[in-house]
Structure 1
Amino acid sequence: MPAPSPKSVLEGRSSHRAPVPLIIGLAVSGVCLLLALPSYVLLVPGAPGNVVVGMLLALPTAIVLVALVLWIDRLEPEPRLMLCVAFAWGAGVALLGALIVNSISESVLAVVFGPEPAAVLTTTAVAPVVEESFKGALLLFLLIVRRHEIDGPTDGIVYAALCGVGFALVENVLYYMQGLAAPGDVWGTVLLRGVIAPFGHPLYTALTGLGVAYAATHRGPGRFLAVVLGWCGAVALHALWNGGLTLGGVPGLVFVYLAEAAVLLVLLVVLVADRRRLVHQIGRFLPAYVPSGLVAPNDLRMLATMPGRRRARAWARQTAGASGAQAMGDYQLAATELALLHARAERGTITPQRFFARRDAIVGLMRVARDAFFRRRPQAPQPPWSRSEDSGFFTLPQQLHQMPTYRQDGNPGQR
């Protein structure tokens, strides 16, 4: 059996094969999307070609949002297949499931309260619960199947936001089709959903993502409560937005827009704090590998910033070609994963057997990568992150011998 590829090692797989649950999830999501789009033609009067026009109007917003999410995910990027599953789940399973349940709920409520009250109740009360539940199911799926990939709040927000972007993309197609069926309405809808308030669904589901991230990185009974509270926050914010649009008029729209802006600001603060936490973990855990030669002291400064990592890859490309640049990228991601692995061991969220197996695989990849990007050409330039002007950027911890890890007896302790 061939040795695992660098990508497989970084994603925690023991073979080249993609995980079967993720492939199944991607396939099911695609089928649901194929079922959802034709149903729009039946629900909305007008030409079938309006589906294509609606998609063209919705794509620019989705592309910008996906780019923002991937930008957030640069320091410790998640596996591409998992990101695709998150997006496809929102666009397929969550969208079709919510469409069916919301339609049935509105029909039942119409019998009891009449058509107009039923529409208001469905929009303000039923839809937030249904939609956030279907989107949140993806995060629970990842928590159960790929829990080790969720290392902190950033990962939870990334998966949740991509799921929300996928959902919003296809939902916007429906709203734009309704606008096309009523001449003069479509551009106002595009302005509201695509320009003024594009962060809606990603923002709501991000709250569930925070709860799931806490559950993935902590132990104890509070994990379940964190998931429930995150979901409740997502439903409440979603219901606030829908209610403000439906019942509040312009003042209601302004209020809920400010509320969403405040939540967005909080999430940005969380992302910045989590990035600093990750940089701190790199500086805390990796110095223990300096004596072995696996990590050089100057590498710690390089790993701490995205500009430093870019300079390192450019240097590796100049000295060892494209393969050297790829090896440098693998080394950077593996070093980051190694720091996160030690952090999980310290929290007790990984078994000793899993810790040692994963550590050995990552260390092996880092050694191979170092060999690759140090195959220098004649008169190779000095690595840019080792120059004297960078020396004050990153401070190494003074007590390197106090790095927490697993002892060989399998219990957390001091090295």
Structure 2
Amino acid sequence: MPPLDPRAVLAGRPTARPSVGVVVTVAASSVCLAVALALMLHDGASGVATSVVLALAPLPLLLAGVLALDRLEPEPPDALVAAFAWGAGVSVLLALLVNTAGLELWTPLLGVEGGTYATVSLVAPVVEELVKGTVLVGLLWFRRHELNGPTDGIIYGSMVGLGFATVENISYYAFAAPGTLAWTFVVRGVVSPLLHPLCTSLVGVGVAAAALRPRGAGRARPVVAGFAGAIGLHALWNASTGFGLGGLLVAYVAGAAVLVVLGVVLHRDRLRIVGLVRTYLPPYEPTGVVTPADVRMLSTLRARRQARERVRARLGRGPARALADYQQAATELAMLHRRYDLGVVELPAFTARRDPLLLLMAHARAVFAR
């Protein structure tokens, strides 16, 4: 069999190199991030180095938690990096500019304290969720095949939110009043590190729902609902600062409720994906690419992990990597069939995507099944 690039096949592209869109997004986001940081320094930020360290401290743990949710059908690393970069760069700069303009508008009317509260409670939630969610709508238009269900929407939304929260925390720490840096870190980095990921995940769920709908007027509804939920939760959290501990408790309970709901959605989506594997892969058994044992192995994360461990122990890392590619390609194949049945993918596009996946599965089987 001819050489095959598994990364390119799994990404659905001719090459495994990042696409032009990803490169442009990351480059533009990097420029925006540099401008945003320069504006912070110009405004008199202090202790920037310490602020960066504090903002980055919880990030590895948060990223690990998000990526742990993405094990059944991992998203392309370049798309995840682009989502994080958009949140940290473009979103931060646009939100900074618009929020500052809102503050200047409200302050003459309501005074410094009232103008700040109005901007934080009314302007910031709308602006920030719109600019963060824009990249998710972009995925719907340009990389729709990556959105196979609510899990994907939550993953991408969380990455955007984490990027935004990290840079926003730098500004909060850098402008903290003397003697309040430790308390600010507790509030931002310990008590509420999931606010932005939670809010933008709601947009991601709406975008993912739209991606599984055929063309028509109904496709926009879940996207609008996702934005409305994100803005509402964000506004509730920001407005709670004006009502003391009681208001904070209400906002925290609402956030915890959203977190629980998203956890249930993730669990149900995992069961859905397993069901797709059991439904769409058995017809390929006569080809020899799939066996009944493979279907059983693909049905749980634990069975997948154990299979890779056995192959690694007996044959080495290369065959274990081939088995991992097989597992992901098989999952992609099942979800491709589902999109085709929903009318989201036309027959030519279905065939063009299916055949390389089957070829990759055959190549991988030749390596790990020997």
TM-score (norm 2): 0.97
Deviation at 1:264, TM superposition (A): 0.7
Q: Could you tell me which residue of structure 2 aligns to residue 257 of structure 1?
A: 252
Structure 2 residue matching 1:184: 3-state secondary structure: coil
CA separation in 2, counterparts of 1:213 and 1:185? 40
In 2: Cα distance, 1:44 partner to 1:341 partner: 52
- How many pairs were matched up? 368
**8 Å Cα contact 1:37/1:51 also seen in 2:** no
Query: Aligned residue for 1:174?
Result: 171
CA distance in 2, matches of 1:73, 1:298: 24
Q: Residue 82 of structure 2: SS of its match in structure 1?
A: helix
* Equivalent in 49, 66, 69 of residue 66 of structure 2: 69
User: What is the aligned counterpart of 2:273 among 255, 272, 278?
Assistant: 278
* Among candidates 322, 326, 343, match of residue 327 of structure 1: 322
Residues 1:234 and 2:230 are matched in the alignment: yes
| Residues 25 and 4 of structure 1, relative CA distance in 2, 3 Å threshold | farther
Secondary structure of the structure 2 residue equivalent to 1:248: helix
The CA distance in 2 between the partners of 1:148 and 1:277, in whole Å, is: 17
* Alpha carbons 1:4, 1:16 under 8 Å: kept: no
Sequence identity percentage: 47
1:19 aligns with 2:15: no
Shift, 1:60, TM fit: 2.2
Query: CA offsets per residue over residues 49-105 of structure 1, 9 Å max, x none?
Result: x11101111112222111111000111000000000011110000011100111112
Question: Aligned runs of 1:38-187 on 2, under 5 Å?
Answer: 38-46=38-46, 50-179=47-176, 182-187=177-182
Work out which of the residue numbers 298, 302, 323 in structure 2 matches 1:303: 298
1:167-192 deviation line (CA, Å, top 9, x unaligned)? 0001011111122xx23211111111
Q: Distance in 2 between matches of 1:44 and 1:249?
A: 29
Task: Say what the alpha-carbon RMSD is for the aligned residues.
Answer: 1.3
The one-letter amino acid of 1:7's match is: R
Aligned residues of 2:4 and 2:360 also touching (Cα < 8 A): no
Cα shift at 1:373: 1.0
Native 8 Å contact 2:45 2:171 kept in 1: no
Contact 1:319 1:373 (C-alpha < 8 Å) held by counterparts: no
Q: Is 2:199–2:234's contact at 8 Å kept on the other side of the alignment?
A: yes
Structure 1 contact 4–14 (Cα < 8 Å) conserved:
no
Q: Deviations over 1:332-389 (max 9, x none)?
A: 00000010010111101001000011110100000000001123xxxxxxxxxxxxxx
In 1, are the aligned partners of 2:48 and 2:170 still within 8 Å (CA)? yes
Which residue, 195, 198, 207 being the options, matches 2:193? Answer: 198
Distance 1:53 1:290 in 2: 58
Return 5+ residue gaps in structure 1 as ranges. 376-415
Q: Which residue of 2 aligns with 1:224?
A: 220
Letter in 1 for 2:243: G
Specify the code of the residue in structure 2 equivalent to 1:335: A
Deviation of the 1:200 alpha carbon: 0.3
Gaps of 5+ in 2: none
- Report the counterpart of residue 36 of structure 2 in structure 1: 36
Query: Distance in 1 between the 2:43 and 2:156 partners?
Result: 30
* 1:189 aligned to which of 178, 184, 188: 184
Partners of 2:148 and 2:208 within 8 A in 1: yes
Asked if 2 retains the 8 angstrom alpha-carbon contact of 1:157 and 1:209, the reply is yes
After TM superposition, where is structure 1 displaced by more than 4 Å over at least 4 residues in a row?
A: none
Counterparts of 2:204 and 2:19 in 1: how far apart (Å)?
A: 22
Does the CA-based 8 Å contact 2:281-2:290 persist in structure 1? Answer: yes
Taking the aligned partners of 1:186 and 1:113, their CA distance within structure 2 comes to 28
Aligned partner of 1:138: which letter? V
Is the CA contact (8 Å cut-off) linking 1:139 and 1:160 kept in structure 2? Answer: yes
> Do the aligned residues in 2 keep the contact of 1:62 with 1:166 (CA within 8 Å)?
no
* Equivalent-residue separation in structure 2 for 1:158 and 1:22 (angstroms): 17
Q: Please tell me whether Structure 1 or Structure 2 has the larger radius of gyration of its CA atoms.
A: 1
Alignment check: 8 A CA contact 2:29 2:90 kept: yes
Q: Aligned to 1:126, what secondary structure does the other structure show?
A: helix
TM-score (norm 1): 0.86
Please identify which structure carries the higher helix content: 2
Partners of 1:93 and 1:306 lie apart in 2 by 36
Residue 5 of structure 1 aligns with which residue?
Answer: 5
Contact 1:156/1:209, CA 8 A, preserved across alignment: yes
Q: Aligned to 1:346, which of 341, 351, 354?
A: 341
- 1:156 Cα offset (Å): 0.4
